[in-house]
């Protein structure tokens, strides 16, 4: 495993558990077992490290969303919560902690959220045989809401959203 990947694997749990701003560079370098010089060499700045961490998280998340149905899409969220935990969306937390003042964080969030909306839109199109932006937007809100609610309800939030998504899809098919 590369030094870069070793660092990312070590710091993501700290960011996820403690937040981005509360995870100081000393704590991050200690967890990764590298010097601050090595960390800066690979990421340039703490913001660069944050963006790379979000990118790695997004890569893993996208792999789980390689599904063909709305039901499977929400099942993937249930599985993500079981495996990765339920502390809300790391992207939205990064945006909130930085106040939207870090352009590279804003760009990472927008890219991830655009992907999510497009992915849902593609699945809806396949399931209905035609695009339906309204349903895709509703499912996106369910998905994002379930991700947030999982922080205090656990996987049941995703399961409830999965059932609601089934009802919305069935209504759209009528």
- The pLDDT assigned to 1 comes to 81
Contact (CB, 8 A) for 128 and 71: no
pTM for the model: 0.92
Domains of the chain: 3-173 (1.10.357.10)
Residue 14, CA distances (Å) to 25, 28, 37, 84, 114 in order: 11, 7, 19, 13, 26
Average pLDDT over residues 79-93: 95
pLDDT tens across 18-54, in order?
999 999 999 999 999 999 999 999 999 999 999 999 9
Tokens standing for residue 101: 């003042």
Radius of gyration (C-alpha) of the chain in whole angstroms = 18
Tokens standing for residue 47: 């913001």
């Amino acid at each position: 495993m590369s030094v870069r990947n070793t660092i990312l694997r070590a710091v993501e749990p700290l960011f996820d558990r403690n937040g981005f701003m509360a995870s100081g560079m000393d704590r991050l370098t200690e967890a990764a077992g590298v010097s601050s010089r090595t960390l800066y060499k690979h990421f340039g700045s703490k913001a660069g490290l944050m963006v790379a961490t979000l990118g790695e998280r997004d890569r893993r998340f996208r792999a789980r969303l390689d599904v063909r149905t709305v039901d499977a899409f929400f099942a993937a969220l249930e599985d993500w919560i079981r495996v990765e935990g339920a502390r809300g969306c790391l992207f939205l937390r990064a945006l909130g902690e930085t106040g939207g003042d870090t352009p590279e964080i804003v760009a990472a969030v927008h890219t991830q959220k655009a992907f999510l909306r497009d992915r849902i839109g593609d699945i809806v199109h396949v399931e209905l045989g035609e695009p339906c932006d309204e349903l895709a937007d509703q499912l996106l809100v369910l998905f994002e809401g379930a991700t947030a609610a999982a922080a205090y309800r656990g996987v049941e939030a995703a399961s409830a959203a999965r059932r609601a998504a089934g009802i919305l899809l069935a209504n759209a098919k009528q």
